[in-house]
């Protein structure tokens, strides 16, 4: 009897293996229809000999999502097939940023012979809120990919680490800057921007004169965002010498983020430039210098400027120099008003985030919370969440109680962000 039982169990094992070998992606989708209860079976399929079946298993695990999808996705991140690895990486991010896979790189993968081809786009603006805690083993799994051999896998992992603010991998992102692959370098630079570890700034400086304009611009933006004062001479050099307008704009914008009185002449040189983005960057630089003598010049330019972009910069500069009053036509109110405009919300918000670091500006913004529109309340909550303090939490209480769910949610997220920094 025991001999028969052993034979029967062996037969079942062989039959199961043969069944797995004959599976198709369609069969995997059928299994996944059971929802979360199908995850154990889908996890078994991560050992299937067919990369197409494993890939489909990862897609289905990702689609099913929380709460039990992380462990199988971490397992899949170590798969021998690059396409499966990238799908797993996007799945890990999707756990924390629902909908990420729809914009992720893995959706563009095509198999070319024994290799893969994927398309990296410049749409790379997603990042989790600062208060969200990502499991360390998720960051470690992506870090292992970042240090792997396949360049597409590494670039995709760098992008994922940026979205998840993987501060533990900054050293490996910096190491990736020394590769010769522009896509990996670019994704690593953007990730460093999102993570915001200021110590990484000096490691980026050697790329400020890179021959690839896309990489050069990303490096220029990175040293500005990471407040790397050591990059100022090189930024001034690039601003004055480049013939590429996009590079010049980026260099002057970053130079303006690192105000140095010694380079005041550069801001003045471009303050009346025919290019509106150069004018705007120059105005922001003068504002950050906080020289009271510049206020009349900024006020006059504000009256004469007809383009919305430079007007935002001029408004910012005046507030930096103390124009914190709120009235119908005041510079600070102009910045707040632009939170209502889809075309300029993305420009106004980071300027308000920076201004809100000043207690006087925060006090003015507290008053604007009560009378603002929906978009203004959401934008102000985000600005205050990024720059506020303990007092801000009490002020956000009014927004948490707002009747509009979107406003209330923005206030809750802002409160959590402040608490995470405290």
The answer to whether residue 73 scores a pLDDT higher than 70 is: yes
- pLDDT at residue 114, rounded to an integer: 54
Task: For helices 136-146 and 151-163, give the axis angle rounded to 10 degrees.
Answer: 150
| 143 has a pLDDT exceeding 50 | yes
Q: How many angstroms separate the Cα of 168 from the Cα of each of 153, 192, 203, 303?
A: 19, 11, 16, 47
Q: Tell me the CA distances in angstroms from 184 to 50, 111, 151, 191, 299, one per residue in order.
A: 28, 20, 7, 10, 44
CA–CA dist 217, 186 (Å, integer): 9
Q: What's the angle, vertex CA 309, arms to CA 201 and CA 331, rounded to 5?
A: 95
CA 288 to chain centre: 25
pLDDT category at 122 given cuts 50, 70, 90 is confident
Residue 7 has pLDDT above 50, yes or no: no
Domains of the chain, with CATH numbers? Answer: 22-100 (1.25.10.10)
Which one has a higher pLDDT value, 3 or 93?
A: 93
The confidence score (pLDDT) of residue 188 equals 98
> Between residues 121 and 338, which one has the greater pLDDT?
338
Instruction: Report the predicted TM-score, pTM, of the whole model to 2 decimal places.
Output: 0.90
Judged against a pLDDT cut of 90, whether residue 365 lies above it is answered with yes
Residue 183: the pLDDT is 96
What distance in Å separates the CA atoms of residue 379 and residue 407, rounded to the nearest whole number? 9
Over residues 151-171, mean pLDDT: 97
Residue 124 — pLDDT band, cuts 50, 70, 90? Answer: confident
pLDDT at residue 103 in the model: 80
Average pLDDT over residues 385-409: 94
List, for residues 30-69, the tens digit of each pLDDT value.
Answer: 999 999 999 999 999 999 999 999 999 999 999 999 999 9
Kindly report which listed range (12-26, 51-65, 245-259) carries the lowest average pLDDT score: 12-26
Residue 6 — very low, low, confident or very high, per pLDDT cuts 50/70/90? very low
User: Any idea what DSSP says for residue 98?
Assistant: T
For residue range 317-350, list pLDDT tens digits in order.
Answer: 999 999 999 999 999 999 999 999 999 999 999 9
Mean pLDDT of the chain, nearest integer: 92
Mean pLDDT of 348-359: 97
Q: What is the 3-state secondary structure (H, E, C) of 274-300?
A: CCHHHHHHHHHHHHHHCCHHHHHHHHH
Q: Are 387 and 354 in contact (CB under 8 A)?
A: yes
């Amino acid at each position: 009897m025991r001999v028969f039982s052993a034979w029967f169990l062996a037969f079942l094992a062989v039959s199961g293996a043969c069944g797995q070998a004959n599976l198709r992606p369609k069969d995997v989708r059928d299994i996944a229809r059971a929802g979360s209860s199908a995850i154990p079976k889908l996890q078994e399929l991560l050992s299937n000999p067919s990369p197409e079946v494993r890939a489909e298993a990862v897609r289905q695990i990702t689609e099913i999502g929380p709460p039990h999808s992380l462990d199988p996705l971490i397992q899949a991140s170590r798969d021998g097939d690059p396409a499966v690895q990238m799908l797993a990486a996007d799945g890990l991010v999707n756990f924390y940023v629902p909908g990420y896979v729809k914009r992720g790189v893995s959706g563009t993968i095509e198999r070319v012979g024994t290799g893969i081809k994927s398309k990296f786009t410049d749409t790379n603006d997603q990042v989790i809120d600062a208060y969200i805690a990502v499991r360390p083993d998720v960051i470690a799994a992506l870090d292992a990919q970042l240090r792997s051999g396949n360049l597409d896998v590494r670039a995709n992992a760098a992008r994922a680490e940026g979205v998840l603010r993987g501060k533990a991998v900054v050293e490996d992102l910096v190491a990736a800057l020394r590769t010769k692959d522009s896509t990996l370098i670019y994704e690593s630079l953007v990730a460093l921007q999102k993570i915001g570890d200021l110590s990484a700034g000096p490691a980026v400086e050697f790329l400020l004169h890179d021959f690839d304009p896309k990489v050069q611009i990303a490096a220029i933006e990175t040293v500005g965002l990471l407040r790397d004062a050591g990059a100022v001479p090189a930024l001034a050099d690039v601003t004055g010498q480049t013939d590429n307008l996009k590079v010049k704009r980026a260099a002057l914008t970053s130079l303006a983020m690192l105000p140095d009185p010694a380079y005041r002449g550069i801001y003045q040189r471009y303050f009346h430039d025919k290019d509106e983005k150069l004018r705007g960057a120059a105005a922001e630089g003068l504002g950050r210098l906080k020289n009271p003598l510049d206020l009349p010049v900024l006020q006059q330019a504000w009256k004469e400027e007809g383009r919305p972009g430079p007007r935002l910069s001029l408004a910012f500069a005046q507030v930096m120099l103390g124009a914190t009053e709120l009235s119908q036509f005041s510079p600070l109110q102009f910045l707040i008003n632009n939170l209502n405009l889809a075309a300029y919300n993305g420009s106004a918000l980071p300027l308000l985030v920076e201004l809100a670091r000043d207690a006087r500006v925060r006090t003015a913004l507290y008053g604007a919370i009560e009378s603002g529109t929906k978009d203004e309340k959401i934008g102000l909550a985000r600005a205050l969440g990024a720059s506020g303090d303990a007092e801000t939490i009490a002020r956000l209480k009014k927004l948490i109680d707002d009747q509009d769910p979107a406003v209330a949610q923005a206030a809750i997220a802002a409160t959590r962000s402040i608490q995470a920094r405290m």
